Structure 1
Amino acid sequence: MNRSTTDVSDSEAAKEMVKNALLRKPGGEDVIDEYKSQNSLSQRTRRQLVNILTSHMTENHGRMPSRKQKEKYALGIVALFPSLKDPFSPKGYLNQDFLLLFGAETASKMLEKWDTAFRPKVIKEAKQLTQSTELSRLMKAAEKLTDNDDTNWDSDMATLLLLLHLLPPTAGRKRVKISPSDAVDKLVHFHKSCCSIDEHLRRGGGKQPYILAAGRTQNRIDTFYIVVDKRLIPCQATSSLGAFDELFKSHYVFNLSFDESLVQLYTFVQTTIYNIDVTTTDESPRIRELRAKLIN
């Protein structure tokens, strides 16, 4: 049996598994009926779908199903509901895939905890850094003191960039240390909406994903995209924080490593905000120190 035949067989088996799981659970048949009539699913029904399948997966594979088992459910979803498939995702719908990999509680942590548990503390801690012109501008934007400054980011993106300054890139055996200011380009690019996005993609860099924020000015963004290997994926989110949430999740959905310049930042977000693989991830002393300051 060749690989393509095997892939089809795996897809059909996953499809039947998901279909049977839905038909056996309350509300599952409603999910199937909505898709048949609308060729799509509402946000409420998508969440219902994930909740049903997460419950089914836990019942059959325990509280800690393997990544392979989770990916089989994700494959079954896009086989049964093909219009949900992200054309650039090997497994399906980005947030949906992440939900199946880690569960709803983990998937929602960034958006739920950022404003109260992290943003104000990051700003406070960043005030201890040696102030430069760039840091002063980010600080004012983070504290919402520059509403009319079209050359700066909104409060959430400015605070995320302050976090990058608190967790600057480090040098290693295979990498040269760069400044946080240079590392910003590995995280987010502003694209003026009147210019060609195709031209930007042609000039694009490596395979690690980043945010492309398109709008008239940096604090008036119309659309956020994730760029992966010169491919453009529109974000569901309409805010910079939501776009960053999707950017982080894309590493797991596409099975990508963190950009070397952003390892400190992403590792902190992974372990401290999402609480993923906390005890098994290699963390720098700076990450542990910052977590202690922000959480205690």
Structure 2
Amino acid sequence: MLIKVQFEGKKKYIKLEEVSFLDFHSAVQQKFLIPEDTTLKVTDDHGIEVDEDVFPELATNKEMCFIIHTDDELPFAETSKGSTDFSDLTEFGASSNQTEYVTVTTCDLTVLQQGVVEVPSSPSLTDTLSVSSSLSSSDSGSQIIQPLLDSVHARNNIMQILSSKPAGLTVIKEYEETGSLKDSTRRLMVNIIVAHMREKEGRAVSKGAKEFHAFGIVSLFPTLKDPYSKKGYEHFYDIQSNTGFLEWRMKTVQRKSRTSSTSQSRVELKGGPTLLRTVGALDDQRMGDECMEAMSLLHHTTDHDTVFKKMKETFHYRQQILHDPQRSADVLQMFPRFLDVKGLISQDFSLMFGAEVASRFLEKWSTSFKEKVIQEARKLKETALLKRHLKAALKEDSDTTDDPEWDSDMASLFILLHLLTPQPAGRKQPKKISVEEATTHLVKFYKSCQSLDDHLLTTEGNPQPYLLASGTSKAQVSTFYIVMDRKILPCQSCTSLGAFDELFKSHFVFGVKYDDALSSLYTFVQTTVYNIDIGTTEETPKVKELRARLLNKH
């Protein structure tokens, strides 16, 4: 829709997609380059004021021409006689009972005297003087005074914006001291001004407002003006091409805002082993040189009690390292006692969550979950692998003459894998991993007569830990180890449940994410058995469904 508009004797057409009073105001400001903070009044050609409620109906009249007036209370407003009124210039240094003055810089005085802008050799924001507004009575002054006043208005606007922010004062100070702005300071200034415009106008900042602020920047900081461009401020905002530092920053903020609003629609859950936790105050935590001394002692002492004591004293420091991407891979090198002293994983886990949480899996699995998991698995479509696991869990004799299966407790964990079938490792790996393959991500068997180093030579440096069971057979395991990054950590427990308990805890102790193939299993154990990060951990619908079934089963 085309609407006829008149402002200061100039008539132009305004194009609107929808008949909206607010859109009309914004379009008028853009078309006539009216500053954003100027209050506008709209009347018809008879002088009758047009309000928002009647505007849509009047806008449909093709003969209607809307007249735009600026509020009489604003600085530089036109009087009824068409002359410039200085009676309200108090914010620029004028007083109602004194001769009207406007504060200008040396640069502005040059404009008044010569009619051209000459940037002073040493521009200063505080080098000001007063010029009588009576200059406007002369013919030459009347041709110069309005652009000058617009410049002062725009400059003072930018000064007010920057002065209201501590970072903005930094911008002003740098210009005062150097006569220019570094790239980083210029970006800071642009960020502050764009934030102000969005606060004043919302997301849809008018072109007129952006141009007004660009004009204000070069008015406040004359050396930033481009002498080879038409207006001098196009690098901050060019209304013709809609480009410049202000526009680029505006688009960046809008893009981030859209991304943020999209992500906010979905609550991000971050619970689990990689979460940086605030651990309660612990006694005797070593810091600085004392921590380094404790770590040095750990490398040499053979006293078992001293190792546990010094590992406890360096717990906070170790947590800082584990959540530092630059140093987390070196934790076993910095604390090598994990590699030869059993029980240190359990101690760190207890320091994180307390003894009660640390004991939940061993207390609950056999009494509250194992039998229910087996009952749920009986409802599944039977496969040869599931059948073998069920027989082992129930301690029934196997029908095959193959090597014996794992013991009852380990088999019950495999059955949990049947209930929580492994998901694809990622979008780029759509192939679904089998339960049988997933069990090898959980535990591998190695005969005790063979060297553990030989096993490490055949395995990749997988950051996700897994169990290495050593013994004469799967059913007769004598020792468990945790393998992580081709390092072997001895388990304190000799039972499969105890070893799995330590394996699970190692994820939290070393801040390692779950293996993709075992993620649902570990998440179920974390939230449902240990009751860690309930409600803040992302769970699949299958995990939630199984929990509901087991906890509601009597």
Is 1:107 the counterpart of 2:362? The answer is no
Amino acid aligned to 2:524: F
Is 1:173 the counterpart of 2:427? The answer is yes
Distance in 2 (alpha carbons) for counterparts of 1:209 and 1:120: 27
Question: Which residue is equivalent to 1:40?
Answer: 304
Question: Which residue is equivalent to 2:414?
Answer: 161
Is 1:86 the counterpart of 2:364? The answer is no
Let me know the Cα RMSD of the aligned residues: 3.3
Q: Is this contact kept in 2: 1:175–1:260, CA < 8 A?
A: no
Distance in 2 (alpha carbons) for counterparts of 1:187 and 1:232: 15
Tell me: CA distance 1:120–1:201, structure 2 relative to 1, closer, same or farther (3 Å): same
Distance in 2 (alpha carbons) for counterparts of 1:140 and 1:279: 35
Is 1:217 the counterpart of 2:473? The answer is yes
1:116: Cα distance to partner? 0.7
Is 1:12 the counterpart of 2:290? The answer is yes
Distance in 1 (alpha carbons) for counterparts of 2:417 and 2:389: 11
Structure having the larger proportion of residues in helix: 1
Amino acid aligned to 2:423: T
Tell me: CA distance 1:39–1:280, structure 2 relative to 1, closer, same or farther (3 Å): same
Distance in 1 (alpha carbons) for counterparts of 2:517 and 2:468: 18
Deviations 1:160-211 (A, max 9, x none): 0000111111123244321111111110001112223212111113111000
Distance in 2 (alpha carbons) for counterparts of 1:108 and 1:282: 23
Distance in 2 (alpha carbons) for counterparts of 1:88 and 1:174: 39
Higher relative contact order (CA 8 A, sep 6+): 1
Is 1:252 the counterpart of 2:505? The answer is no
Note the residue ranges of structure 2 that are not aligned, 5 or more in a row: 1-285, 295-300, 321-334
| Superposition pairs of residues 255-294 of structure 1, within 5 angstroms | 255-294=511-550
Deviations 1:48-78 (A, max 9, x none): x98xx9xxxxxxxxxxxxx958948xxxxxx
| Superposition pairs of residues 63-78 of structure 1, within 5 angstroms | 71=319
Distance in 1 (alpha carbons) for counterparts of 2:534 and 2:340: 29
Amino acid aligned to 1:240: S
Question: Which residue is equivalent to 1:227?
Answer: 483
Distance in 2 (alpha carbons) for counterparts of 1:182 and 1:248: 19
Is 1:183 the counterpart of 2:419? The answer is no
Note the residue ranges of structure 1 that are not aligned, 5 or more in a row: 1-7, 17-35, 54-66, 73-82
Question: Which residue is equivalent to 1:4?
Answer: none
Is 1:132 the counterpart of 2:383? The answer is yes
Percent sequence identity is: 48
Deviations 1:142-175 (A, max 9, x none): 0111389852000000000000111111123244
Question: Which residue is equivalent to 1:95?
Answer: 346
1:289: Cα distance to partner? 0.3
TM-score, normalisation: structure 2: 0.40
The DSSP-based 3-state class of the residue aligned with 2:305 is: coil
Question: Which residue is equivalent to 1:151?
Answer: 404
Distance in 2 (alpha carbons) for counterparts of 1:239 and 1:247: 12
Distance in 2 (alpha carbons) for counterparts of 1:153 and 1:252: 26
Amino acid aligned to 2:454: E
Of structures 1 and 2, the larger Rg is shown by 2
Question: Which residue is equivalent to 1:121?
Answer: 372
Distance in 1 (alpha carbons) for counterparts of 2:351 and 2:292: 14
Distance in 2 (alpha carbons) for counterparts of 1:251 and 1:269: 12
Distance in 1 (alpha carbons) for counterparts of 2:518 and 2:444: 15
Amino acid aligned to 1:216: T
1:85: Cα distance to partner? 3.9
How many residues in Structure 1 have an aligned counterpart in Structure 2? Answer: 240
Distance in 1 (alpha carbons) for counterparts of 2:509 and 2:304: 21
Runs of 4+ in 1 over 6 A off after TM superposition: none
Amino acid aligned to 1:86: F
Distance in 2 (alpha carbons) for counterparts of 1:125 and 1:10: 53
Distance in 1 (alpha carbons) for counterparts of 2:368 and 2:518: 22
Q: Is this contact kept in 2: 1:40–1:84, CA < 8 A?
A: no
